[in-house]
Chain A
Amino acid sequence: MSLLGSPQKGMNAFRYLKVAIVVAFLIGAPLYWRDRYITTVFISALMFGIWGVMYDLQIGYAGLYNFGFAGFICAGAYGSALAALHYEVSPWYGLLIGGVASGVLGFFTGLVTLRLRGIYVGLATWFIAEVLRLTISNTPGYTRGMLGLAVKPLPDVLGLDFSRAVLLPYYYLLLLLVIIIFTAASLMVHSKIGLSFKAIREDQLATETLGLSATKYKLINFTTACFFTGLIGAFYAHYIGILTPDATEFGVPRTVEILTVAYVGGRGTLWGSILAGFLLIGFQEYFRELGAWRLVMFGALLITVMIYAPKGLSTVKKYIW
C-alpha cells in the first residue's frame, strides 16, 4: 500500500523516492537559507497546506462541505490558549487539548448535520463556526474577546529553544506534525474507511443498502479531520502569540483561503493541498507589493479552477512529476 496515488505494484519504490525527495527538501530548505523570513513563509505554507489536506479529507473524499472550517481552527487555538491561561496546562498538552476540543466540536457538528446533504451541511457548519466566534467575542471576561488573547510560546523541551526568538524549532515541530497527520490521512483514505467515504460521496443511499453505516463514517470523517485541524490550530496559537475572534482570522475569509488551497491543489488527492499551500502562500509573499491585486488573482484562480480545471493542479501532475 503506497502513500500516494493508487496502489500499483512496481511503482512503489519510485513513489517512496518522490516522497523522500519532498521530505528532504522540506527538512533541508530552511536550514540552507537560514533566513527568518523564509522560515515564516515555510511555516505558513505548511500550515495552510495541512489544513487544506484536512479540508480535502472532508470535501474531496466524503463530500462533506465544511464551510465553517476556520471555526475548528478557532476551537483548537482557543482550547489550548485558554487551558494554558486559566488552568496553567502546559502548552505541550495544550496541542492535544486543542485537538480534542476541535474533535469534540467536529463530532457534534457531524451529529447535528447527519440528516443534511451537500449545501445544507456547508451552511450549518458555517453558522456553527460563527456562533463559536461570536460567543468568544461576547465573553471578554473569559476569552478577552476582541481585545486579543496573548498566548505564551511553547516551553523549551529537549534543549530546544521555543521562545519564538528563533523559528526553526517551530518549523521542525510543525513539519513533524504534518508528516504524522499526512501519513495518518493517507493510510485512512487508502483503507476500507477511505473507500467507504468515497462510496458515501458517490451515492449515500446505495452505500447504505450495502450495509455500510453512513452515520458512522461521516462521524469518523468529521471527528478525525477536526481533531487534526484543531491540533494545528493549537500550534498556530502558540506560534502566532495573539488570538482575536476576527473574521479574517477565524471567519469566512480564512475558510475561503483554505478552500482555495484544497480546490487549487485538486480535490481527492491530499498531496495537492500541500503543493498548493506552498504555491499560493509563496505567490502571496512574493507579490506582497501588489496588495489587494493578489487576492483578486486568488479569486480569479478559484473561478478558473471551477470552470476549466475541476481537478486543479493534479491535472498537470503527469506532465511534470
Chain B
Amino acid sequence: MEFSIFVQLLVLGLVRGSMYALMGVGLSLIFGIMGIVNFAHGELFMMGCYLMYFVTRMVGLPFPVGIIASGAGLLIVGIILEKGLISPLRRKAGREWLMDSFVLTIGLMVIFQNLALITFGAIQRGIPNLVTGQMVIREVVFIYDHLVILSLALLTVGLLWYFIKYTSMGKAIRATSQHSEGAQTLGIDVSTMYAIAFGIGAALAGISGALLITLFPANPNAGMGPVLKSFVVVIVGGLGNVKGAVAAGIMVGLLEAFAMFFLAGGWQNVIVTSIVIAVLVFKPAGLFAPAGERP
C-alpha cells in the first residue's frame, strides 16, 4: 500500500474515531454513574441534529452557536427526563434496575422517533459543511470540515474530563457513582447529581449530533446508526469506562476506515459487530478493564 493512502486512511479513521468516541463517552458516562443503559441515546443525538439545523439554517446563526445550543438544549432535555421519568423509576426499582431502566429508555426511543416523524416529517435536513475548503499535503487530502469535527470532538472530551476530574460538582458526581449513600452523608444532593449526570450525557449526544450534521442529516431515524456505533464503542471500551470509550472510539474508527478500503461495502459492519460479540464473550468488562475484573 502506498504511504499516502495509508496516511489518508489514518486521517479518515481518526475523524470517524473521534465522533464515535464522543458518542460513546456520553453513553458510558450515563452507565458508569447511574447504571442506565440508555437506548434513547441515538434519539438525543437526533435532537441535537435538529437543533443544529434550526439554529444555523432557519435562524441563520454561525455554527459554533448551533453546537452550543444543541449542547445546552439537550442538557435541559436530559435533566427533565431524569426528573420526570427515570427518578420515579429509581424509587421503585430494586435489583432489576439495570433492565427496567433499559426498557424505559426503549420506550423513550420509540416516542422520540415518532414525535420527530409527526413534527418534522421524513425529510432529510442536512447542512453540506460547517466550513469549506481543503488542503493537500503530499497527496493526502485534509478536508477542513473534518479537521473542525476532530478538534471540536477532542475539545469536548477534554472539557468533560476537566469537569469530572477537577470541579467540585464533578467530584460530587463521581462520589455519587462510587457510593450514593456515602455521598449523601457528606451532604451531596444525590438526586440532583443524577439529574445533572444524565443531562451531561444527553448534552454529549446533542453535541455529537450537531457536529455530525454534515454526515448524518437531521431526520427521525438519524439516531439509529449512531446508537449502534455508540454501543460498539462502549462495549469494546467497557461499560461505564469513559477513558476506555475514547480509546475504543478511535480504535473502531480506524478499523472501519481500513476495513472499508479493503472490503466490499457493508462487510465492515459485520466485522465490527463480530468483534463486539467476541469482546462480550471473552472480556465482558471491556478491553481496557484491569486484569481479572468481571462485570
Residues of A within 8 A of B (CB): 65, 112-113, 115-120, 122-124, 126-128, 130-131, 134-135, 137-138, 247, 252, 256, 259, 263, 291-293, 295-296, 298-303, 306-307, 310
Query: Which candidate, B15-23, B85-93, B251-259, is the interface stretch facing chain A?
Result: B85-93
Q: Render B241-266 as a binary contact track against A, CB cut-off 8 A, 1 for contact.
A: 00000000000000000000000101
Residues of A within 8 A of B269 (CB): 130, 134
B228 at the interface (CB under 8 A from A): yes
Number of A-B contacts (CB under 8 A): 110
A116: B residues at CB distance < 8 A: 280-281, 284, 295
The residues of B that contact A296 with a CB separation of less than 8 Å are 110-111, 114-115, 118
User: Which chain B positions have C-beta within 8 A of A292?
Assistant: 114-115, 117-118
**A130 engages B85 (CB within 8 Å):** no
* A interface majority secondary structure: helix
Q: A306, B100: Cβ atoms under 8 Å? A: yes
Q: List 7 A-B contacts (CB under 8 A).
A: A138-B266, A295-B114, A296-B115, A298-B110, A299-B114, A302-B106, A310-B92
Residues of A within 8 Å of B98, CB to CB, are 118-119
A135 to B271 alpha-carbon distance, docked (Å) = 10
The reply to whether B295 and A124 form a contact with Cβ atoms under 8 Å apart is no
The reply on B273 being an interface residue by CB < 8 A is: yes
Q: Is B137 an interface residue (CB 8 A)?
A: no
Interface size class of B (residues with CB under 8 A): 35 or more
Tell me the smallest distance from the CB of B221 to a CB of chain A, in Å: 9
Chain B residues with CB under 8 Å of A138's CB are: 264, 266-267, 270
Chain A contacts for B239, CB-based, 8 A: 119
Check: B142 CB closer than 8 A to any chain A CB. Answer: no
Interface string of B98-123 (1 = CB under 8 A from A): 11101110111111011101100000
- Give me the interface of B with A, judged by CB distance under 8 Å: 37, 85, 88-89, 92, 98-100, 102-104, 106-111, 113-115, 117-118, 224, 228, 231, 235, 239, 264, 266-267, 269-270, 273-274, 276-277, 280-281, 284, 295
Separation of A24 and B273 alpha carbons in the complex (Å) = 46
Instruction: Describe B's contact surface by its main secondary structure.
Output: helix
Contact of B270 with A300 in the complex, beta carbons under 8 Å? no
Are A306 and B103 within 8 A (Cβ)? yes
User: Are B110 and A134 closer than 8 Å at their CB atoms?
Assistant: no
- Contact partners of B276 in chain A: CB under 8 A: 127
A302 and B107 contacting across the interface, CB-CB below 8 Å: yes
| 5 A-B pairs closest in CB distance | A299-B110, A299-B111, A302-B107, A303-B107, A292-B114
Q: Pick the contact of A120: B89, B111, B295 (CB < 8 A).
A: B295
Is A117 touching B115 in the complex (CB atoms < 8 A)? no
Measured CB to CB, the nearest residue on chain B to A124 is B280
Please judge, given known A-B contacts A296-B115, A299-B109, A299-B110, whether A131 and B277 are in contact too, CB under 8 Å: yes
- Expressed in whole angstroms, the minimum distance between the Cβ of B19 and any Cβ of chain A is 20
Interchain CB contact under 8 A, B111 and A134: no
A254 vs B267: C-alpha distance when bound (angstroms): 23
Q: Which residue of A lies closest to B267 (CB)?
A: A138
Neighbouring B residues of A131 by C-beta, 8 Å: 270, 273-274, 277
B106 cross-chain contacts in A, Cβ below 8 A: 256, 259, 302
A120-B280 contact in complex given A302-B103, A307-B92, C-beta closer than 8 Å:
yes
Cα A291 to Cα B276 in complex, Å, equals 36
Closest to A138 in B: B266
Contact assessment for A303 and B85 in the assembled complex, using a CB-CB cutoff below 8 Å: yes
Q: Which A residues lie within 8 Å of B295 (CB)? A: 116-117, 120
The answer to whether B103 and A300 have CB atoms under 8 Å apart is no
* Minimum CB–CB distance for B282 against chain A, Å: 9
Complex CA–CA separation, A134 to B107 (angstroms): 25
- B104–A134 contact, CB under 8 A? no
In the complex, which residue of chain A has the Cβ closest to the Cβ of B224?
A: A247
Are A119 and B89 interface neighbours, CB within 8 A? Answer: no
